[in-house]
Amino acid sequence: MSANQAANKSKLKQIGLSEETLLGLYTNLMRTRLLDEKFRKLFRQGRFAGTYFSAVGQEATTVGVTYGLRDEDIIGPSHREIGAAVTKGIPFREIVAQVFARSSSPDKGKTHPCHYGSREKGIINPASTVAGQTVVATGCAMAFKIQKKDNVAVAFFGEGSTARGGWHEALNFAGIHKLPMIYVCQNNLWAESVPATLQGAIEHFADRAKAYGFPGVTIDGNDVVVVHKTAQEAIARARAGDGPTLIECMTYRWYGHSEIDPANYRRSEELEEWKKKDPIARAELLLTELGLLTVEKREVLVERIEQEMEEAIKFAEESKYSEPEEAYCDVYSDKFPVRREEY
């Protein structure tokens, strides 16, 4: 073993993650970033209707938490969780079909762009109501506890969501019943155009967890290693029956609330400062220092992702829109009503 290999092995031991995990996290960061930027271009080309909610700049908050979750684990997302959809395994073609509102999308083209969901992958379709799926995910966690399953539920939301009444009720309920929940607050400093200082008179939104009797931590949300390790600890705690955790990830979205928002309420200096903390660049620097990434390996990965994106776009654009009558379908579960004796 060379001196460099020995040094890298020592660094890996200090980081506490395997080579496979680090490369897996980076691959999902890149898949999320490239697909996200592609959607922004497609919107400007008029290739789909509505608008688009980019998550560029805050990918580590979703990738780091979602990586390693089981299909049976549930995610209650909002509209900026493309990283969770990619990392939990929704195929590109289904993600693109959702944004293009086609019948081949898991939601059959019924919802707004960026409402990524998948029954097979355990992702609840987002609701446009802020933090709406935090309540539903908490209900799923209660079901896991009743069924004596060690699955977990993860809810993603912004710091502005923590000012809503339903959000507080959900966390209070989870704390009382020690539910297997991981609450992930993506604090990007802005709730659409409202600054975080007008959402709560506190410095750290993770402090809200104290009121409900479970841990809350504030971390660097642009460091995918820190996010993943913090999430893994919370997930292990939840699977063991020790209750929920609130993780506040400090991060920043590079673009407006959506593609029709110029974001001219922010200072350019603030944006430039956060771009220096780009989670992709930081992950690339780490992997390069560890000898796990080269320019050539990166180019191969980018080429593979771009090919996958082009195939997914072709699939979506060749898919039909749903007929109007489709709106009446899937209103109730086929198994409704659920029989109590099944459990």
Q: Are the C-beta atoms of 92 and 309 separated by less than 8 Å?
A: yes
Instruction: Indicate which residue of 115, 164, 208, 253 is catalytic.
Output: 253
Reading the block at residue 197, the tokens are 């200082």
Beta-bridge partners for 247: 184, 217
User: What is the total residue count of the chain?
Assistant: 343
Instruction: Indicate which residue of 44, 265, 304, 321 is catalytic.
Output: 265
Pick the closest to residue 134 from 168, 110, 163, 160 (CA basis): 168
Q: What is the DSSP string of 215-233?
A: -EEEEETT-HHHHHHHHHH
Q: Is 265 a catalytic residue?
A: yes
Q: Is 112 a catalytic residue?
A: no
The alpha carbon of residue 27 and the mean position of all alpha carbons in its chain are separated, in whole angstroms, by: 15
**Distance (Å, rounded) from C-alpha 269 to C-alpha 266?**
9
Q: Is 257 a catalytic residue?
A: yes
Give CA separation, 145 vs 119, 191, 253, in Å. 20, 33, 35
**Distance (Å, rounded) from C-alpha 312 to C-alpha 92?**
6
**Distance (Å, rounded) from C-alpha 242 to C-alpha 216?**
14
Instruction: Indicate which residue of 80, 115, 237, 257 is catalytic.
Output: 257
Region of residue 180 (phi > 0: left; psi between -120 and 50: alpha; otherwise: beta) = beta
Beta-bridge partners for 190: 195
**Distance (Å, rounded) from C-alpha 84 to C-alpha 88?**
6
Pick the closest to residue 238 from 156, 161, 149, 136 (CA basis): 149
Catalytic residue list = 253, 257, 265
